[in-house]
Structure 1
Amino acid sequence: MSVETLTYDALGARLNISPVAARSLARRLRLPRSLSDDGKALVSVDLAEIRHTPQPPGRRQAGAVAQLTAKVVALQAEIVQLEAMAAGHRADFERERERAERLVTELLHAAAETTAAREAAARLEGEVAVLRARARTDSSIDKTERRLGQLAATLVESDRKAARG
């Protein structure tokens, strides 16, 4: 058992692997490390105890690349489908938004008409109350009847406007 102090380059050359793989192996095995005078990392290792067989780089990567390429193509197809679905949802959203805007406009118009009708009804009720009071105190029934006829005509006209709108 002879312990040697090697750089990652030297360890990689001895094990027939890259310096990056040698560094990864040293970290994985938790080999003691130190720095040399020139700033390079040195690893203390007993090569007889390390049982490392390097994997051929091309075989494993080719299969992984093919799988990843297939997955990328599948994901791109899914993205296209999702974009088409999103476009359909966007069109539905726009259509519903326009419909809601129309309904809000109609609602505001109906609210304005309702307010106007309530004001007219309040005004007419006030006039009817005045006429009834006059009819009790005043002997001129013709004026009262004429005014009631005008009020009735106003009510009919307001009702027709409400039916048209």
Structure 2
Amino acid sequence: MPVALLTYADLGARLNISREAARSLARRRRLPRSRSDDGKALVRVDFSELRYTPRPRTGRRANPIDVSIARIEAIKTEAFKAEIARLEDVATAYRAVFERERERAERLAVELQQASAEATAATAWAARLEDDMAALRTDRRPGGSLAGYAARRLGHLAAAIVKADRAARAR
């Protein structure tokens, strides 16, 4: 094929590329250039030597800063989601411990009330026994002998002790 003098636009039309791509190709291949009478650049091209297949067009590349910011935001979002999930697991574990300790505290409060009631009953029982002992010592009972009263009182005391012992074993 003969050598042709073409403008960048004509070269781009022949090769099915843009005018800027034709200009870049002429520079890369160091094709001889000259100026026409109207001031446009002319390129001397021998199409038999020029073996050129254009690359398929790719979309415009996104701004690398925007891509980086989007990637950081995605990582942040994933990291925040992971942290939230971890904190929810920790909160669930603490909640279980809290519930277990609350139930234990309630059981201890019930046991404390029972122990308090038993202590009050024991104090009342001790006071009644002290009164009975004082009555036996002073013999305040009119018309009764000391030996008869002591025997009856001793029987009552023994029955009360057996009753208290049976009640304690039942618990």
* TM-score normalised by the chain length of structure 1: 0.57
Instruction: Check whether the contact 1:131–1:144 (CA below 8 A) recurs between aligned residues.
Output: yes
**1:113 corresponds to 2:145:** no
The sequence identity of aligned pairs, in percent, is 45
Instruction: Show structure 1 runs of 4+ deviating over 6 A.
Output: none
Match of residue 125, structure 1, among 121, 130, 138: 130
Aligned ranges 1:80-91 → 2 under 5 Å:
80-91=85-96
Instruction: Check whether the contact 2:136–2:150 (CA below 8 A) recurs between aligned residues.
Output: yes
Letter in structure 2 aligned against 1:149: G
Partners of 1:141 and 1:85 lie apart in 2 by 74
Letter in structure 1 aligned against 2:159: A
| Aligned residue in 1 for 2:102 | 97
Letter in structure 1 aligned against 2:128: R
| Aligned residue in 1 for 2:160 | 154
Match of residue 59, structure 1, among 45, 64, 81: 64
Letter in structure 2 aligned against 1:154: A
Match of residue 73, structure 1, among 78, 92, 100: 78
**What is the Cα deviation at residue 163 of structure 1?**
4.8
Partners of 2:124 and 2:167 lie apart in 1 by 14
Match of residue 143, structure 1, among 140, 144, 149: 149
Letter in structure 2 aligned against 1:94: E
Partners of 2:102 and 2:87 lie apart in 1 by 22
After superposition, the CA RMSD in angstroms is 2.4
Instruction: Check whether the contact 1:128–1:148 (CA below 8 A) recurs between aligned residues.
Output: no
Q: Could you give the per-residue CA deviations for residues 104-140 of structure 1, whole angstroms, max 9, x where no partner exists? A: 01111110111011111111111121012219x9744
Letter in structure 2 aligned against 1:67: I
More helix by share: 1
Letter in structure 1 aligned against 2:114: H
Instruction: Check whether the contact 1:117–1:158 (CA below 8 A) recurs between aligned residues.
Output: no
Partners of 1:111 and 1:140 lie apart in 2 by 37
**What is the Cα deviation at residue 73 of structure 1?**
0.3
**What is the Cα deviation at residue 72 of structure 1?**
1.4
Q: Give 5+ residue unaligned stretches, structure 2.
A: 1-61
Instruction: Check whether the contact 2:136–2:146 (CA below 8 A) recurs between aligned residues.
Output: no
Partners of 2:161 and 2:117 lie apart in 1 by 18
